[in-house]
Structure 1
Amino acid sequence: MAPQISVPKTALAGLRQDLAGEVFVPGDPGYDEARVVHNAMIDRRPAVIAQCATQEDVSNAILFGRETELPVAVRGGGHSVAGTSVVADGLVVDLRRMPAVVADPEHMTVRVEGGATMSRLDHATQPFRLATTGGRASTTGVGGFTLGGGSGWLERKFGLASDNLLAAELITAEGKHVHTDAEENPELFWALHGGGGNFGVATSLTLRLHDLPELSIAMLFFMPEKAPEVVRAFRDLVGSAPDDVGGGVIYFPAPPAPFVPEHLVGELLCGTLLTYTGPVAGVRELSAPLFALGPVVEVVMDIAYTDLQCMLDDPPGLRNYWSAEYLSELPDAAVDVYCERALKIPPPTACQHVLFPLGGAVAAGRPDDPIPWRTAPWAVHPFATWTDPADDDRAIRWVRDVRADARPWSTGAVYLNFIGSEGEKRVVEGFGADNYRRLARVKAAYDPDNVFHFNHNIAPAA
């Protein structure tokens, strides 16, 4: 193990005194637990973890990092597949002690602190039968998800999470508090609609809420030999469906769930999920073309949004590698290639081969936001999870092969929350070249020294 960096004792003592939260360094009880992130491939040992409880804590932690010249990572939910929530021999500004969520049904808004997860957000809004677009896993951090764009089940109806961002409170690289909305610091506000955590630490976000009186799903599983026909039917169905309909296609080894017959557990299946912001009778009627193809598992029901959001939660401790390609079209040839690659998922990994429809409110969103992928009608999202390090190479290679397969139909743009560290070129593609240059100017205004660089980084303009 490499020697740990030495932090001046006087500076560390000052940080402990200044913080209402807690400070961990190597050797402290709780340090190893505090440094664990979602992706088990990431095993980094920070010099200091500052678990901040207030905005002032965040400011003090950033100033401490600059004084000690430690690289700085910011942790909300810890879901970054690249592990950007934790930095070796550096400072982690950990927001998990700031998880408050306050819904305001009168004004149809919700204020979310920087350490809140999707589960906290959804449980705060559901009693009022309100919701906003959230991630497809309940343990995702709201802050990183939203600032990166925010793709979720309700996006075709309510837009991306960033489309629903109304205001934000940030602590800058100089430790200063900044408020931003459409009228105050509007250029920064524009940058937060997809530009990620490059401009400061978001200590709170205010999001627009929408009425969600009913939600239903149709989840159907098919044997792989029927998959090409199933995927084409799903494509055609969604292409003519109202914006109330969302969902996706997923190949995966069937889990040991109550609704899965025992003889199918572990078998590779092709699943379709239709979500519908309406009653169950509506989703059943919409799904008729899929029912006609003979699913081996059928789950059709009304569902609480909180339950939908945690339906695909992975257990902790898995190794993860993901990527994505956004497609200009999904012709039959692309469907065939997609289905063929699913048959090559390397056992015994639990890789998921996902296909998401966009369109609706996603495509209708603000065209000048730094989200060039919003106009793509489809996204392929290879999502590899496994437990044994010996499977690393095979799982990663499979994800890269999926990307290569999709390249003939790729727009080149990509949702950066869906990928790990894939190089500067991919970062630029995630924003678009013109947007990147504009973002770089905003970066230069708020973080000219690139203190917040442990992310999908935007280099400050000269």
Structure 2
Amino acid sequence: MGTERFDALREQVRGQVIESDDPEYDAARAVYNGMVDRHPAAVLRVSQVADVLAAVRFAHGLGLDVALRGGGHSAPGFGTVDGGLVLDFSARRGVRVDPAARTARVEAGATWADFNHATHAFGLASTGGIIGSTGVAGLTLGGGIGYLARKYGLACDNLISADVVLADGSFVTASEAQNVDLFWALRGGSGNFGVVTSFEFRLHPVDMVHVGLIFYDAELGVEAGAAYREWLAAEPEEMGAFFGFHQGPPVPFLPEEWHGRPVAVIGGMWTGDVDAGPAHWQPMLDAAPVLGSMLAPMPYPALNIMFDGLNGVPGLQGYWKADFLRTLSDDALRVGVEFAPGIPSVHSANHFYPIDGAVQRVAPEATAFAYRNVAFAPAIAGQWPDAAENEKNIAWVRSYWSALHDYAEPGGYINFQDADDQSRIEDNYAANYARLSQVKAKYDPENFFHINQNIKPAAAAVTADAVVAPPTEPAPRP
């Protein structure tokens, strides 16, 4: 099968090249967001680094757009592209742990479930996301917020080195000792600078943790959220927990009459002495009337996959927005309470993630991730099964974001933004954007890697339009 156009690529790679006449094509082109329905010219299931070298040179020579797919969770669907070549790393999921050095070498297609499974065998972990099926690559390159951020920093703060294939098809390693400017840009600058084929992470002792999930009536969100704000600020950094609004999930510890109704929730873990966990959660059990709760010791990887059945479901319609907040103010909480009744489905998540502690001990200019002076990163992740509800639910996400943005910083977390947020790119990187643009000009002067939240090369930054895949459903926000 296939066309002569890609025969030359097939001769140079070990991985499978899939075109539109292949029975596997529809599965190969799919990403998690069911709203994204793009038709690449071909999908290469990467077998090894040599495939990436050949594919980048091949695509560059033909002027093909290239999309990079690790976990495939990108809300805008940046893991696929109409008419271009997708580099699919889903078969490259290896994780090699060095327990003595407390490091892990991770391939570009690994998920956080893969990562945590491998590292937990040695009683180790590093900051990752809250959904196990999320890709290590995308989350890390965009910054990497997770339960361990207060104690150990962002995922990108724990990156030691990265192997990268550049736009010209060459291979380099970026670290504090080699290609230092590239290493700086990779830590938060997303996939703008090349194809990262493997990551080396610093690990930390994390084994059994004390997990807490506490639900309140959403109408009490200001009261519960204010208590959470004060409680978390006083808690040691071993406590990592978010506050948010949901539809009540169908779990046994939440009364059935609250399933599908608006609730406020606190979720996370205590990573200190497990026996001390209940005492650390108790203030939030006393803060407001509790609808239901689950408090229990469990292995850290079990928490990381706990929400996969709700928020990690492939094929849901999805539209996301994000910001940064200096504090979780009562005004911001009131906005959350106001919009809670419109939460699209039980699959949606509106979380306020804490990024204080170790995150703030890194200087804003030390990595590309610039917002080191804020305390929370709110995410409005609208997800629902029925495409007929797209217009209504997209409008809800936009209206909620617009109201919340009155209390937010100019920029937001790129991993939680959608395709129509390209106009915010300079604000997202604040004072670091100019330097990122210079690094882009050095390593990707033609903007070959542009299927992303795009940073334009310095020489083209004044005149070039954003070159990103447009959203398939959302129109520009009014």
Provide Cα deviations, 1:353-382, integer angstroms capped at 9, x if missing partner: 222222111111232122222321122211
Equivalent in 335, 338, 341 of residue 339 of structure 2? 341
Which of 206-215 and 266-275 deviates more? 266-275
Give the superposition deviation at 1:350.
4.1
The within-5 A match list for 1:114-193 is 114-193=108-187
Which ranges in structure 1 are unaligned for 5 or more consecutive residues?
1-6
Provide Cα deviations, 1:201-246, integer angstroms capped at 9, x if missing partner: 0000100000113311121111223322111111110011111111
Paired residues of 2:68 and 2:80 also in contact (CA < 8 A): yes
Give distance in 1, aligned partners of 2:140 and 2:82: 26
The within-5 A match list for 1:306-455 is 306-313=301-308, 314-346=312-344, 350-368=347-365, 369-432=367-430, 434-455=431-452
TM-score (norm 2): 0.92
Paired residues of 1:349 and 1:391 also in contact (CA < 8 A): no
Give distance in 2, aligned partners of 1:307 and 1:94: 27
Give distance in 1, aligned partners of 2:191 and 2:90: 16
Give the superposition deviation at 1:140.
0.9
Give distance in 2, aligned partners of 1:416 and 1:159: 17
Partner of 1:3: none
The within-5 A match list for 1:244-283 is 244-283=238-277
The within-5 A match list for 1:163-242 is 163-242=157-236
Give distance in 2, aligned partners of 1:264 and 1:306: 28
Equivalent in 44, 54, 57 of residue 50 of structure 1? 44
Amino acid at match of 1:428: E
Give distance in 1, aligned partners of 2:274 and 2:102: 26
Number of equivalenced pairs: 454
Give the superposition deviation at 1:424.
3.5
Amino acid at match of 1:439: L
Paired residues of 1:372 and 1:413 also in contact (CA < 8 A): no
Amino acid at match of 2:251: A
Partner of 2:58: 64
Partner of 2:463: none
Amino acid at match of 1:421: A
Partner of 1:460: 457
The within-5 A match list for 1:32-43 is 32-43=26-37
TM-score (norm 1): 0.95
Provide Cα deviations, 1:137-180, integer angstroms capped at 9, x if missing partner: 11111111111111111100110000001001001111111111
Give distance in 2, aligned partners of 1:423 and 1:248: 24
Provide Cα deviations, 1:277-329, integer angstroms capped at 9, x if missing partner: 02444232122222122312110011211111111223222111111121122
The alignment partner of 1:187 has SS state of: helix
Partner of 2:71: 77
The alignment partner of 1:452 has SS state of: coil
Paired residues of 2:221 and 2:334 also in contact (CA < 8 A): no
Paired residues of 1:338 and 1:405 also in contact (CA < 8 A): no
Amino acid at match of 2:297: D
The alignment partner of 1:32 has SS state of: helix
The alignment partner of 2:199 has SS state of: strand
The alignment partner of 1:315 has SS state of: coil
CA RMSD of aligned residues (A): 1.7
Give distance in 2, aligned partners of 1:456 and 1:67: 24
Give distance in 2, aligned partners of 1:416 and 1:258: 35
Asked if 1:286 is matched to 2:269, the reply is: no
Give the superposition deviation at 1:349.
6.7
Which of 257-266 and 144-153 deviates more? 257-266
The alignment partner of 1:215 has SS state of: strand
Amino acid at match of 1:461: A
Give the superposition deviation at 1:11.
4.2
Partner of 2:468: none
Which of 127-136 and 369-378 deviates more? 369-378
Partner of 1:103: 97
Amino acid at match of 1:27: D
The alignment partner of 1:429 has SS state of: helix
Give distance in 2, aligned partners of 1:8 and 1:64: 16
Give distance in 2, aligned partners of 1:322 and 1:345: 12
Provide Cα deviations, 1:11-33, integer angstroms capped at 9, x if missing partner: 41121121111000001021111
